[in-house]
Amino acid sequence: MTTPCQLRTAHTADLTRAELDAVRDLLVDAFDGDFSDEDWEHGLGGVHALVHDDAGRLLAHGSVVMRRVRHHGRWLRVGYVEAVGVRADVRRSGLGGRVMAELERVIDRAYDAGMLSASDEGAALYAARGWEVWPGRICGLGPDGVVHLPDEEGSTFVRPALAGSLDPAHELLFDWRDGDVL
């Protein structure tokens, strides 16, 4: 990419209404309109990585929020990656990698583990960065108890630093939330 750009991190509480509106607009475009109110809520309340060009236009975004995930009888504090998107005209220029590098830095310093659920389009970015597909069972702790989430299996990734210490013979049990659980 020939346009110089700047990476900034900020907690949701430190973003202005205009910045949040710009992020949401970018994500709606990046996901071709398939970005729900629940998807938006899932990306809030944590640390955001934002890339702007020198004119101040938002080019890329991602956030990491805390989730609770039980594995083999232990509840983990998980840095869960959400709302990663890059403006269409600057895709494949390394901006997604810059966003992920910053989110990975936050995860590695603040959480027991890093996890995410990848779209088909995003999976290549995460795999190229060494994230590993979780080979085991995925569940959510719902209002009525444990719910198996087979549609999430094969698209849930874990940070490689932790992947070796997790046993796929034991499920990942995610805290429940509205919309897509993962």
Domain extent listing, the chain? 5-175
User: Quick one: pLDDT band at residue 1, thresholds 50, 70, 90?
Assistant: very low
User: Using one digit for the tens of pLDDT, what is the confidence trace for 98-150?
Assistant: 999 999 999 999 999 999 999 888 899 999 999 999 999 999 999 999 999 99
Please state which of the four CATH numbers 3.30.70.380, 3.40.50.150, 3.40.630.30, 3.30.2020.30 is assigned to the domain occupying 5-175.
Answer: 3.40.630.30
3-state per-residue secondary structure call for 22-62: HHHHHHHHHCCCCCCHHHHHHCCCCEEEEEEECCCCEEEEE
Q: Taking the model in full, what pTM does it have?
A: 0.93
pLDDT value for 36:
94
84: nearest Cα among 95, 75, 93, 73: 95
Q: What is the dihedral sign for C-alpha 108, 133, 164, 128?
A: negative
